[in-house]
Amino acid sequence: MRTADIRSRFLDYFAARGHTVVPSAPLPTPDPTLLFVNAGMVPFKPYLTGEAAPPWPRATSVQKCVRTLDIEEVGRTTRHGSFFQMNGNFSFGDYFKEEAVSFAWELSTSSVEEGGYGLDPERIWATVHHSDDEAALLWRRVAGLPEERIVRRGDEDNFWSMGVPGPCGPCSELYYDRGPALGRAGGPAVDEDRYMEFWNLVFMQYERGEGAGKSGYPILGELPRRNIDTGMGLERMATLLQGVDNLYEIDETRPVLDRAAELTGVRYGADHLADVRLRVVADHVRTALMLLADGTAPGNEGRGYVLRRILRRAVRSVRLLGHQDPALPELLPAARDCMRHSYPEVAEEFGRISQQAYAEEDAFRSTLRQGTTVLDTAVAEVKAAGGHLLPGPKAFLLHDTYGFPVDLTLEMAEEQGVEVDREGFTALMAEQRERARADARARKSGGALDTSALRTVLAAHGPTDWRAYDTLTTDSRVLALLGPGGPLKAVRSGEIATVVLDRTPFYAESGGQDSDAGTLTGASVEAEVLDVQRPLPGLVVHRVRVTAGELAAGDAVRAAVDPEWRLGARQAHSGTHVLHAALRQVLGPTALQAGSYNRPGYLRLDFPWRGGLGPAARGEVEEAANRALRRDLPVDVRWMSLPEAKELGALALFGETYGERVRVVEIGGAWSRELCGGTHVERAAQVGVVALTAESSVGAGMRRLEAAVGFEGFRYLARERDLVSRLAEQVQAPRAHLPERVAGLLERLKAADQQAEELRRRAAVARAGELAAAATDVHGTLVVTATTDGDARSLALAVRDRLPRERPGVTAVGATADGGKAVLTIALNRAAAETGLSAAGLVKSLLSGRGGGTAEVAQGGGVPAESLRATLDGLTGLLAGE
């Protein structure tokens, strides 16, 4: 049974039993504690925790998930994959244990003809929490499982919570016995390779208190409404039903593995290490495909860094298998063809996806070349100093700065007869991981905002009455005041706090649009609104500074948005839509927005594209946008269901999460049709003008356009006009001839620079001869020390080359650099190097370990300018053995 069929069979089963089918949320999640959705319940978290009212009593989904904590284990075990799909059925206060157990058993064991998966009931085991007699009884009564195949386990295995105060409860897992060829008998407590877990049922019935770990926290009591959260691993079920050994060999990954084996000439199953690398390729290429499809772009931090690391691990694994040419153009289409049956968007968006992936591989191949040069230099330094161990900091620099995998560093160093200081490297990696964990802990704690207090406010008062689409002012009441330490009774003049109102006209930052600015005024208070956010579903909070009087909980206030600010924000957001449509009109449909930000007067838009846009393309995009404004296209806003919006052709932008009802914004009908929650003008001409101000790279395969909008657009154009006028006046040329006149001036300046450089070179050559003639003999070695206002390295080399070749010669030249510091260059001729002297060693001796280079040329910095002469004089003493 194909994985896509297993998926559809699951959804059909639960839809027929009253569950609403909910589409998978995008992998990037708005949850501040997560980078990606990592479990099937994540999109339903607000309903399970009571933060929001569920729109349905029961639901089912197949949720895309990414987990990277165990990325090093990918390929080494049969249980770890960075991308996986979780089939789930959920009950929000509707059914509970008996129905959940019945559903899982019936779907798992019913025949294929009856719509089930046809698993042999005699090979299924269940685990339950040791205290959950009810679940054990249900497995005996509903499923007919004998007592010996119902295993009771502790909190670590069979009790679920989110790690913070809130819902929790026992869970029950289903395992399938894959036979004696895969391990020992005795059930899942003995061998979890032979007995593969395929379904986990969480019975969410208690509320837990504070406490660390998976046990030891208090149970505060029963939840007022009990929930069901189950997860059936789609890849694991495919492994069972397709009769393969592991999840890397199912129909959605094996073709990628086979293509990698064909490219590298490696036979899968012949060598353990090669098999691990092939499985890494199969997993990571599929993961990258799905992340790119959901709008994640390779980058240096956050989600982008995770994707970059996954892509580079895949490329590196192919390289280690012996394939040196670009691999992704061969592998990514194979992954696309595997996944298109379940996710048609990977085929529809493949032009954009492949463009970003291939650009990232090209960049990494360049990185490998740079890293190889750095590594070769480091190895040469180690050998020149008589060592055999590459320092840990150097290996970490290669890994962290150049993206050079440590496995590759180990391999290439070994080829050159040098080992790597693994302990030093590991220590630095541990420090980096601890910084990452600290950052994750900061995200999870919500930073300075007390999210537990916000949940209390939401539970007590319900969602904010949000009026941003309807009005600029509301009469509101202060429900809560919060500071970093929790609730506040009052806030006085000059103080800043988070304010929760019962209703608000303020737009909360989302969808790339900055939050509104404005004021809160009351009988005895005036305050300015600094920021507006939506930290919990349905709850809007305001960051305010009290400018006069005192603000207290319960106060009645007038909330007012600055109308000029809102107008500018509407112009910028509509301008973003217009620029996006113009970009796609000029460059084609693959130029799809991958990120945006807009505030009054300014917008930026990121999109996948290989290579910069030339002046002609930029001009064409700008003209297409402003032609749309001149035509004064109508701007219409409509609400509809998500399927209706997709049928209409509305663009759903990456990284955004949409509900059942969506807001479609059209500019000129089909010319620009996007799902959007932002504020907009009524007609396109109200945007005024879109003036492109910059175009740049923001990562491999990703470009950024920036523009000034509205009055700021006109001001920008006026400044450009004035600048051109001043330049034309200064160079005494008509504005139309300004480019030619400036080009001519630049050519003359370049010629003058070349002439000056030639004069400096001749002077240096002449001085080099004088310095070489005045060399001092130190125990048979000719020594020259000098200072220069120019290039120390060039002068040192010139002097060295004029010393007699048959005698050892050492030249040291210092030059003052920026900031009052000096740099020192030492050059040795071959005769000096053959005596055992090392330029790198001399520099480090004179500069207390700073600097580096080769045995013949080395350089160091950080010398105070006033100490430069004394440092140079120290060379003579060093060579004399003093």
Report the binding-site residues for Zn(2+): 573, 577, 676, 680
Place of tokens 């500018």: 568
Radius of gyration of the chain (CA): 34
How far is it, in rounded angstroms, from Cα 290 to Cα 252? 12
CA distances in angstroms from 370 to 155, 319, 325, 363, 367, listed in the order given: 50, 16, 17, 11, 5
Asked if residue 753 lies in contact with residue 760, where contact means CB atoms within 8 angstroms, the answer is no
Contacts of residue 632, Cβ cutoff 8 Å, sequence gap at least 6: 683, 684, 685
Query: Annotated binding site, which residues?
Result: 573, 577, 676, 680
Structure tokens at 720: 């450009």
Extended strands (E) in 364-422: 389-390, 419-420
Calculate the dihedral angle through the C-alpha atoms of 501, 505, 506, 507, rounding to the nearest 10 degrees: 120
- CA gap 370, 325 in Å, rounded: 17
Give me the residue label for tokens 């006033």.
866
Q: Give the orientation angle of helix 97-109 with respect to helix 133-141, to 10 degrees.
A: 40
Name which of 707, 505, 566, 533 is nearest 625 in CA terms.
707
Distance CA 768, CA 740 (A): 42
d(CA 540, CA 222): 29
| Gap between the Cα atoms of 738 and 351, Å rounded | 41
Q: What end-to-end distance do the CA atoms of the chain give, in Å?
A: 82
* The total number of residues written for the chain in this structure: 882
Contacts of 462 (CB under 8 A, 6+ apart): 538
The DSSP 8-state label assigned to residue 106 in this structure reads: H
User: What 8-state DSSP symbol labels residue 499?
Assistant: E
| Helix, strand or coil, per DSSP, at residue 676 | coil
Query: Cα 643 to the chain's mean position, in Å?
Result: 29
Q: Where are the alpha helices (DSSP H) in 684-805?
A: 710-730, 738-773, 792-802
Give me 39's structure tokens: 């479990």
User: Strand pairing of 503-504 and 465-466?
Assistant: parallel
CB distance 656 to 594 below 8 Å: no
Cβ(540)–Cβ(506) below 8 Å: yes
The secondary structure of 155-196, three-state, reads HHHHEEECCCCEEEEEEEEEEEECCHHHCCCCCCCCCCCCEE
* Contact criterion met (CB below 8 Å) for 207 and 219: yes
- 721 CB-side CA count, 13 A: 7
**CA dist., res. 829 & res. 807, Å (int):** 9
